[in-house]
Amino acid sequence: MTMTIVALLLLAAQAAPAQRPQAGPTAEYVIGAQDVLNVTVFGEPDASRAGVTVDDDGTIDCPYIGRVKAAGQTTRALEVDLKQRLSKGLFVNPSVSVEIVKYRSKTVTVQGMVRAPGEFKLEGNVSIMSVLAQAGSMTPDAGSYVVITRYGSPPGAAAGTEAAAQQIRVPRRDLESGRAQAITLQDRDTIFVPKAETVFVLGYVRQTGPIVYEDGLTVERALSLAGGATERAATSRITIERIVDGKLQRIRVRLTDPVLPNDTIKVPQRIL
């Protein structure tokens, strides 16, 4: 009885299709010039290539099919592309694997309110979190967001195609919560950490003076950052002084209204 069960298990294992390992972080990495790849066509060593470098024009030379565009594709997309090309009268349903064995270095610049600004040479999938950590992290007077300026060509663009500079704004709260971990950087990206903008809170609050502006700041949140309104505050008659087109405006606001950088919030005394 026991031998029969063992035999059945062995037969099932032999009949089951081979499972490929799950894609790792390189599956979403965008291949570029000077990356070094292993291209494996399982069971077909003559169609495979080990240690092939992506040329400056973004292509690699593959047996049977010639030059293939690799730059601008993820490893998974390149696997699909090679499989389709090899299936055209050459092989029946080939299984293709593309592995990055050496990453090209990327130069990323960090400027602004960090402890160690400068250029950093990095390899592979590089997150904004890891680069800021290498720059010594943000200083206490850093603002409420970080701007990534990207000068490179978009993924999939033809070699030599240069896109207009793109700016990506990342809220500081996303950095602190870890949500920004998924943001990966490209070669020549510049990260700028601006100095904190401020809002002044005056009148009947527990701590008057400047507070650091943050995205989505409301009057209620500003009062909370100032320690809260006192018992004598008239929170229904709060005003904001704001410079608009060079002119001072006084605006009656509610607690849910948004606040802008450089606003002055005035909390009057409650009429007794």
Q: What is the CATH number of the domain that holds 213?
A: 3.10.560.10
- 2 within domain boundaries: no
Question: pLDDT value at position 67?
Answer: 95
Same domain as 111, residue 177: yes
- Residue bearing tokens 């996303």: 174
Same domain as 92, residue 111: no
Same domain as 207, residue 148: no
**How many domains is the chain built from?**
3
Question: pLDDT value at position 80?
Answer: 95
Same domain as 220, residue 174: no
Q: What is the pTM of this model?
A: 0.62
- 69 within domain boundaries: yes
- 82 within domain boundaries: yes
Output the tens digit of pLDDT for each of the chain's 272 residues.
444 433 433 443 343 333 333 333 444 778 888 899 999 999 999 999 999 999 989 999 999 999 999 998 999 999 999 999 999 878 999 999 999 998 887 889 999 999 999 999 888 878 899 899 999 999 988 998 999 999 865 555 554 555 578 999 999 889 988 888 888 888 889 999 999 999 999 999 999 999 989 888 999 999 999 999 999 999 999 999 999 999 999 999 999 999 999 999 999 999 87
Last residue of a domain, one of 193, 209, 231: 193
- 147 within domain boundaries: yes
* Chain centroid offset of residue 163 CA: 18
- 183 within domain boundaries: yes
Same domain as 143, residue 73: no
- 6 within domain boundaries: no
Within 178-247, where are the H helices? 219-225
Compute the distance between CA of residue 101 and CA of residue 247 in angstroms, rounded to an integer. 60
Last residue of a domain, one of 81, 102, 123: 102
The domain that holds 35 is classified in CATH as 3.30.1950.10
Assess contact for 31 and 75: CB atoms under 8 A. Answer: yes
- 229 within domain boundaries: yes
Assess contact for 130 and 113: CB atoms under 8 A. Answer: no
Question: pLDDT value at position 13?
Answer: 37
Domain limits for position 206 = 198-267
Assess contact for 261 and 272: CB atoms under 8 A. Answer: no
- 7 within domain boundaries: no
Same domain as 189, residue 111: yes
Question: pLDDT value at position 103?
Answer: 87
